[in-house]
Every structure is written in structure tokens, then in C-alpha cells.
Amino acid sequence: MSIKSIDNILLILISIIPISILAGSAVSLSNIIIFDFLFIYFFFLKKDFNWANSLIIKLLLFLYIYLIFNSLISQQAELNLYRNLGFIRLIIFFIGINYLFNESKNFDNILKIWLIVILIVASDIFFEKIFGKNILGFSEGSNSPGSQRIVSFFKDEAIPGSFVYAISFILIGFFLEKIKNFKTKSLIIFFIFISILLLSVFVTGERSNSLKFSISLILFFILLKEISFLKKIVLFGSIFSIVFLVISNDSYLKSRSTETIFYLVDTYKDSFQNTNPAPGGNQYAELSRSGFEVFKKYPYFGVGNKNYRIESCKKDINKDYYCETHPHQIYFEFLSEHGLIGSILLLSIFLVIFFNAFKYTLVNRNYISLGCFVYLVVIFIPLLPSGAFFADYNLTLFFINLSIMYASNKDLNIFNYDK
């Protein structure tokens, strides 16, 4: 197989990444593994390994070594070692994205395909909201009668909002890179584009992702120097006015987005502090408390990556444990599964990676990199509920943004990196 043929196959595999995620974790994982093996073969043919000297590769490899160490001291060492050894797939994926973005003239076409996919998903979310089922007939109501959550193409998981949110800021940045001007006509199209994406996430009823999208959008506008302050206010105000009008005229969305949020804020402290919260207490606070209890028992390196579920389901050990797959909040997840030392290590690695990227993003005014940056930073906002960070779905979305944040910036791309 020629180098050109492999290059074309790699581009195809990257093009269908969003589609493979929609198809399910097994399909997504298979896509990335096939990509990795082809890319490894490709690079042995080229024999170019200068990228290995870049700072971020060293940091990611250090993170990989730490995860293996964490597996060895976890409650289920053999199972966890298998899981964490697989983390290498995302490092290879990161290298491959950087290479293709740097060398290929067709990466714009890949992002155009992603744009089409996201607009289809957003349209399907609206379709399901109006008709009760998505265009393929999926709805959460078929599994949970009376539920109004949106599943779209995910069939039995109410997570399309997190998917749209994770890809949106890559495409918002890409949109700005293509228009290259900020005249009124372009800004109107930009306004419509963002409104569709943001509204689709709100319509799903996913509170945390709706709030994170809003915060990311505010941060993106703040860092976007090319648009005047007045135009930012007009754009921002118009976008959120549309969202507000839609939410205020839908009783379910209004409950999810306003009344329920105030209730959660009011009950968080009480549910976290009390050992036996009243029925209807704040579930997220109880999960956070449970994560904190696990951390107190394993304060240095935690119970082991993705081992919270094992420890927390031992209700006879601690009455404050909440049996779940993860604490639903990234900091309590880190503390419970990685302890204080492991959490400081993880957060330090990500802080260096983000700070390094932010410097060059501001200098180059790279909109794609900026979009990825705001998405990644908001993941680490305290207290907001979140999915399990090291779950395959969330980790894949994280690495897509991390990879493109570096790949799209000429001063960060590891195949140009000489710092």
C-alpha cells in the first residue's frame, strides 16, 4: 500500500469520526484503532519521528505512565491495567490529527463534513422535540415512559447535547477562519449558525451542557478581539434572547433550565453536608459527598481510575456512599479515583497543556484553536455536573478538541514544533 493511499484512508477515517461516535462506542473505538494502526505503519514507512521532542507528547506520555501506575495500585489492577493501557490510542490519534492537519490540503473538507453532520444532528434534535421521535424513530420515551429528554441518533442515551457542544466550537472557529471578515452580512450568518447550535443543546434538556455551552460562548466572545464590543453585545444579546423566548414558552425546558437549577443550588449545600438528606435532596451533591468519602478513605492515590463504582457500591462500609458509576463531577471524580497526589498531577499536566496552547492561540488569532480552548477549559469549571472524564465517549470528545487545538495552530502543531 502506497503512502498516498494510506494518507487518503486516514483522511476518510477522520472524516467519519463524528458519524462513528453517533453509531456507538464500539464503532468509534474501532475507527480510532484502525486509524492508529494505519498511522503507525505509515510513519514507519516515512521514518520521521522529530515530533517526539514536542512538549505535549512528553506530557501525554508521562500521563500515560501515571495511568498505568494508577492501575497497578487500584482495587482491580488487572482490569484497570487493560483499560489504561488503551489510553495510548488517543496519543497516537493526537499525533495523527496533527500530521494530517499539517500535511494535507484536504483537512478543510473534513471539517465541512463535520459541519454537515452537526447540522443534521441539530435538525434531528428539533425534529424529535416537535414530533416526539427522531427521524429514525428513536426516543427516550420508548425506554422511559413520560420522559421528554432528547436522544436523537444515540437511540437510548440522552447525550446529543454533549455531542453537539463538543464539536460546535471547532466549527465556530472554522466558520470564522473561512469568512475572514466581520462585516454585517457575515455576522448575520454567524449569528444564525451559533443560534442553531446553542438552541439545539438547550432543547435537549441537558442542563449542564447548556450552561457549559453558554459559558464557552461568553468566553469565546471575550477572547475574540476582531469584533467590536458593541457588535458582541448585539450578537450575544440576540442569541440568548432567542434561547430565552424558546425556553420560556416550553414548560419542560423552563423547569429544566430555570426552576430546577435554582432548586439544585438551594439544596446542594444541605444535601452535601447532611448524612441523611431528605427524599428529593440534591442527587449531585450526594454523589459529590460520596466521592469525597471515597477520597477520605484513599487520600493519596485514590481508589483507582474508574474504580469509584466498585468502592461506592459497598454500602455496608460507609452509609454516605452513593452507588453509581462515577461522582458526576470532575474534581470529585479525580479525588476519589486518583487521590490528592494523582489529582494534582493530572491538573498540572492539563494546566501546562492549556497554558502553552493559550499563549500561541492569542498570538496567532487562530479561531479554531480558540474554539477548542474554550471548550476544554470549561470542562474544568468546579461544581458543574459532568460525565466520567475517563469514559471512552467523553475522553474521545476531549481528545478531538485537544488534538485540533494543537493541530490547527502552526506554532503548536507538533510537526512544526521546535520549542
- Would you say 87 and 64 are in contact if contact means Cβ atoms under 8 Å apart? yes
- Would you say 134 and 153 are in contact if contact means Cβ atoms under 8 Å apart? yes
For 315-367, write each residue's pLDDT tens digit.
677 778 888 888 889 999 999 999 999 999 999 999 999 998 888 888 778 89
**What pLDDT score does 274 carry?**
65
The Cα–Cα gap between 346 and 407 comes to 22
**What pLDDT score does 195 carry?**
92
**What pLDDT score does 261 carry?**
59
**What pLDDT score does 252 carry?**
79
* Cα 263 from chain centre: 26
The Cα–Cα gap between 407 and 161 comes to 25
**What pLDDT score does 265 carry?**
65
**What pLDDT score does 259 carry?**
54
The Cα–Cα gap between 172 and 170 comes to 6
Q: What is the DSSP letter of 89?
A: H
**What pLDDT score does 213 carry?**
94
**What's the pTM?**
0.91
Q: Among residues 353, 386, 348, which one has the least CA distance to residue 369?
A: 353
**What pLDDT score does 145 carry?**
45
As given in the structure block, the three cell numbers for residue 344 are 494534582
CA distances from 398 to 75, 146, 227, 271 (A): 26, 32, 28, 30
**What is the chain's mean pLDDT, rounded?**
86
- Would you say 163 and 197 are in contact if contact means Cβ atoms under 8 Å apart? no
**What pLDDT score does 230 carry?**
83
Residue ranges of the chain whose pLDDT lies below 50: 142-146, 278-279, 419
Q: Can you tell me which residue has the cell 459497598?
A: 314
Please state the domain extents for the chain. 3-257+330-407
- Would you say 178 and 189 are in contact if contact means Cβ atoms under 8 Å apart? no
